Every structure is written in C-alpha cells, then in structure tokens.
Amino acid sequence: MRELSYLDVDADVLWRPFETLSNGEQTKVLLAALFLNEGHFLLIDEPTNHLDTAAREKVSAYLQKKKGFILVSHDRCFLDGCVDHILSLNRNNIEVQSGNFSSFMRNFEQQQQFELSQNERLKKDIHRLQQSAQRTAVWSDRVEASKIGAADKGFVGHKAAKMMKRSKSTEARQQQAIEQKSALLKNVETADFLKIQPLTYRTDVLASFSDVSVIYDDRPVFQPMSFEIRRRERIFLDGKNGCGKSSLLKLLSEYAPEHTGTVTIGSGLVISYVPQDTSHLGGTLSQFAEKHHLDESLFKAILRKMDFERVQFEKDISDFSGGQKKKVLIAKSLCEQAHLYVWDEPLNFIDVYSRMQIEQLIETFSPTMLLVEHDNAFREAIATQVIRL
C-alpha cells in the first residue's frame, strides 16, 4: 500500500481484477510491485506510454527517489526528472554519460557538430587525394605508351619501368591515405528532414465547438466547452486519462460519439486523422498504401526518413513494433494534403530522434492541428494553445 500511495493510486485497485484497471493504473501498479523487490536491479520499459501529464510527473518524482534501475523512455522531460545517467545506443557505438537527458543532448549536439565539421575537412582531403591519384594514373599510362615506336626500346623501357615503379608506389601511398581518411569519417547521427503539404482553407476559422461535451452512459464526460480552430493554430487538449480528450477529437472524424452542443466543420474541410489505437493495422505497407489511396513511393520514402529499413517493407504491419506502427500512421498523415491534422497521442512508442524530426516539420510548415499528446517537451515546442478539460 505504501508504494501505491506514493503513486497516487487508490487502495481499491488491490481488490479489482488487473485487466479492469486503466492503462495508467496498470503501469503504476506494476511499478509499485517492482520496487517491492529489494536488492534487485530493475529494468523499466517505457512506463510513460498511456500516462497523462500529471501521472508522468508523479511517476517521474517517484522514480527520482529510487535507485538501481535502467529505464527506457523517449519522454525528454520525464527523463530529466528521474535519471542521473544516460546510456545511448547509437548507430556505431554505445555511450554512457552522467547527467540528465538535457545535459546529454547538449553534449551530443556539440559532438555531432564537431564530427560534421571534421567530416567536411576529411571529405575535402579525400577528394584532393582522389584527384591526385587520377593524375598519377594518367601520367603512368602516358609513360607506358611512350615505349611504343621508340628507337631505343631498351633505354626507354628501362626508364619507363623506373617511372612506372615510382608511379605505382605513389598510387599505393595515395590509396592508403584515402583509406585512412575514409576510416576517420564518422557516421553522424542525423535525421532526414520531413515535409508536409497542408492545404490552405478559404476562411480563418476551420471548425468551431459551442457548448460541447461528450456523452457517456447518458452523462456528460466534461463540462461544456467552446473554442475555435483557426488557420495555423496548433491546439493541444490536456487533461487526465479518461476525461474525454480522444472522444473530443473524434467529433471531427467519421467516428463521432454522442455529444451535446454544436460542432461546426467548415464546408469542404479536409481532415487527416491519426488515431491512438494501432491494433487494427495489418497487411504489407504496399497494401496499406493502396487501401488508403496513398502515393506508395512517397509513403515509403517518408518511412525511410523515419529510420525504417527496407526489409520492413515486405513484412506484415501487425508484426511491427508499437513505434513502427505509429510511424506508419504518421507517414500516412504526412502523405495526405489536408486543411486540418487531428492527431491522437502520435508519439506513443516513438523514439526521441523521430520526435524531434516531427517537431522540426511542424515548426517549419505550420500546419493547422488539433492534438492530444502528453510529451511536455513536444508540446512546449509547437503548441500555440493548450485547452484543459
């Protein structure tokens, strides 16, 4: 009970079947149970998925007081609050640094800039050496050709042999220098730039909600609320799990639940919707693209930029990881030209680099968006308005 109380979990969960608990309650119960095992070194895998903002802060504060665990998480603010070392699995190596995520990222970006500059210098050196090697090869060919038609073939042949030997020696040294320089090139951790092509709606207001609340079991889920979605706005819905955020998003989709008040959607408004649930996904990426009328080449190109390997293209989507499934839905949305992008917890299971890719995309192209997302760093970077339910 003590551990559960630290996580703000009601005592009645002890008498309820585990499967009846919400995702957030299940996560907290599992964490509390883990830390009852004294003397064990604990492995905690992505505990923030399905947690709302308040719950993430509570779990972060709880873990900050604990010791002896390895935590996997892509939530930057969460990591800042509860870890004192970062172990980073890079493409070519594994790094361990003391400090929280923000300090790691500052050091990492400085190192990346240094290695990028070093790579540029090395590439110039390699290019210069390659040109020199080409000139040496041409000179060597000319020396060999000079033997043809010469009056004193013995003298010319002897001279040509010496020059050829010197030429080959020079070529070998140049090739060795090229290989040494190439070996110094770093495989810098970079993320390709993503693009989106939002449509421009003819009026400033795309949709409006007037005294709206979602109905569940004949009762309103939250207090009636009113707001408008205007061009280039990025509105985040915030609130505890189960307060109706996802249901409110669905009022703009074909899955609209029962509700009070009035939802007005602009005539001809094109909406791209990313649902929270990925359990319905299946088939190959080609079949998915055909089903949703996507440009398959563009769809797969976006996934490649989001670190998909080509070998994934022939696999069934149902076998993908949670993060890969989310990337499929995001890539679909990025392929769609829309006036309004409605995304429901798009970053669940998504890695840090892809999160920053998506941030950069949104900051660059300023699509109009209505989102539910509990990653504070992401929200602080791109939100123009936060509405709390």
- Boundary (domain end) residue, out of 152, 184, 216: 184
Least confidently predicted of 14-18, 67-71, 206-210, 340-344: 14-18
User: Are 333 and 350 within 8 A, CB to CB?
Assistant: no
Q: Distance between alpha carbon 254 and the CA centroid of its chain, in Å?
A: 28
62 plus 121 within the same structural domain: no
Which pLDDT score, from 0 to 100, does residue 54 have? 87
Classify 115 as helix, strand or coil. Answer: helix
Which pLDDT score, from 0 to 100, does residue 32 have? 87
User: Are 236 and 379 within 8 A, CB to CB?
Assistant: yes
116 plus 247 within the same structural domain: no
Helix (H) or strand (E) holding 60: helix 53-64
Residue 103 in domain: no
Residue 257 in domain: yes
131 plus 76 within the same structural domain: no
Q: Which pLDDT tens digit goes with each residue over 177-203?
A: 656 555 555 555 666 789 898 999 999
Report in angstroms the alpha-carbon separations of 206 from 61, 199, 217, 249, 363. Answer: 40, 12, 30, 14, 20
Residue 137's pLDDT band, with cuts at 50, 70 and 90, is low
Query: What six digits make up the tokens of 206?
Result: 């795309």
DSSP 19-39: GGS-HHHHHHHHHHHHTTSTT
Dihedral (CA of 218, 219, 225, 229) sign: negative
246 plus 336 within the same structural domain: yes
How many CB atoms within 10 Å of residue 268? Answer: 9
343 plus 220 within the same structural domain: yes
Least confidently predicted of 48-52, 73-77, 133-137: 133-137
Q: What is the reported pTM? A: 0.76
Is the pLDDT confidence value at 362 over 90? yes
153 plus 81 within the same structural domain: no
Least confidently predicted of 54-63, 162-171, 251-260: 162-171
**Cα–Cα distance between 388 and 386 in angstroms, integer?**
6
Helix (H) or strand (E) holding 297: helix 296-305
Is the pLDDT confidence value at 239 over 70? yes
Which pLDDT score, from 0 to 100, does residue 243 have? 86
Which pLDDT score, from 0 to 100, does residue 59 have? 92
Q: What is the CATH number of the domain that holds 364?
A: 3.40.50.300
Which pLDDT score, from 0 to 100, does residue 41 have? 86
Classify 325 as helix, strand or coil. Answer: helix
Give the end-to-end CA distance of the chain in Å, rounded to a whole number: 30
Residue 241's pLDDT band, with cuts at 50, 70 and 90, is confident
Query: What six digits make up the tokens of 91?
Result: 């493409």
What count of Cα atoms within 13 Å lies in the side-chain half-sphere of residue 346?
A: 27
227 plus 363 within the same structural domain: yes
Strands 205-216 and 225-230, how do they pair?
antiparallel
Residue 10 in domain: yes
Question: For residue 208, what are the β-bridge partners?
Answer: 228, 264
Q: Which pLDDT tens digit goes with each residue over 253-286?
A: 878 889 999 999 999 999 999 998 898 999 999 9
Which pLDDT score, from 0 to 100, does residue 199 have? 95
Is the pLDDT confidence value at 224 over 80? yes
Residue 102 in domain: no
36 plus 165 within the same structural domain: no
228 plus 177 within the same structural domain: no
Length of the chain, in residues = 389
Query: What six digits make up the tokens of 61?
Result: 């504060």
Residue 226 has phi, psi (to 5 degrees) of: -135, 135
Residue 104 in domain: no
Which pLDDT score, from 0 to 100, does residue 326 have? 94
Domain membership of residue 47 as a residue range: 2-90
Which pLDDT score, from 0 to 100, does residue 133 have? 66
341 plus 228 within the same structural domain: yes
Strands 69-72 and 368-372, how do they pair?
unpaired
User: Are 83 and 71 within 8 A, CB to CB?
Assistant: yes
- Boundary (domain end) residue, out of 90, 120, 142: 90
How many CB atoms within 10 Å of residue 158? Answer: 11
Is the pLDDT confidence value at 124 over 80? no
Residue 217 has phi, psi (to 5 degrees) of: 55, 45
Residue 269 in domain: yes
Report in angstroms the alpha-carbon separations of 53 from 287, 359, 373, 382. Answer: 36, 19, 9, 16
Is the pLDDT confidence value at 160 over 60? no
Residue 10's pLDDT band, with cuts at 50, 70 and 90, is confident
Residue 281 in domain: yes
Report the chain's mean pLDDT, rounded to a whole number. Answer: 85
Which pLDDT score, from 0 to 100, does residue 154 have? 56
Q: Per the structure, how many domains does the chain have? A: 3
User: Are 63 and 84 within 8 A, CB to CB?
Assistant: no
76 plus 134 within the same structural domain: no
250 against 49, higher pLDDT? 250
Residue 298 in domain: yes
144 plus 261 within the same structural domain: no
